[in-house]
Amino acid sequence: MPLLIISILLQVALVVHIVRTGRNTTWIWIVVMLPFAGSIAYFLLEILPDIMKGRSARSVSRKSPESTDPVKDLKKAISDYSVTETIEGSMNLAGEFLKKEMYPEARALYEKCLHGMHENDPALMHGLAQAEFGLEKYEAACETLESLIKLNPEFKSPDAHLLYAQVQEALGNQDAALHEFEVLHGYYPGLEASYRYALLCQKRGEPERAREIFAGIVSSAKNAGKQYSSIHRRWLRLSEAELKR
């Protein structure tokens, strides 16, 4: 309860600050609807720059390269969203929330967008399912993805297909998940689907099949060259680690 009270008081204080300083009123919606992310964003984009105007702060700022800013893209997405609240801007911001694993904020924004002419938008529905999966709302994610396919039969996305396979596994539907991973293994543009397929085979007591897939991942990555191996470094290293066991 104390944390809830503190959160509410912080939101009220920020809303008062927005009004008194004449900031864009869109910030009010961001702070109220996205309490944690909105408050951080407002501080980073509106309050912190004022603090940084001091001479010593400017000196430190010049020594810090822009490329080291871990929330640079998030701040830009929030800034763009605060200037003009478009579907594109909303999707960009929700996508940045997903990257930062800010799943409640991402879900709230996707749900806000899924209305009117965008009610059945497949990209928005995919994003919502990702947020639901991140929140471990697996049944909701499954329902969202199945509705996506039903309402948009022409929509094709390897990433959405991979998410559906992961959802089936998370729900304990191993046979369904195995089937989806097997299909993905044949066409997914990367190594993640094959890696997850091998892990599931291993979990189901099929070590030889799993080892065959892991070996195939390593072989295909090395044959594809350094750039491919670098892009998919994570799954390559995980596969190599499994082969060493």
Nearest one of 100, 130, 98, 127 to 113, comparing CA atoms: 127
**Cβ–Cβ under 8 Å, residues 100 and 119:** no
pTM above 0.85, yes or no: no
* Residue 41 pLDDT: 77
How many helices (H) and strands (E) in the chain? 16, 0
Token code pair at residue 39: 């408050």
Strands (DSSP E) found in 76-119: none
Residue 205 has pLDDT above 90, yes or no: yes
pLDDT digit string, tens, across residues 84-128: 678 888 888 899 889 988 898 899 899 999 999 999 999 999 999
* Angular region, 34: left φ>0, alpha ψ -120 to 50, beta rest: beta
Residues 222 and 218: their CA atoms lie apart, in Å, by 6
Mean pLDDT over all residues of the chain?
A: 86
Q: Give the per-residue pLDDT at 64.
A: 47
Question: At residue 58, does pLDDT exceed 60?
Answer: no
Burial (CB count within 10 angstroms: exposed 0-12, middle 13-18, buried 19+), residue 96: buried
Q: Quick one: which H or E segment has residue 83?
A: helix 72-83
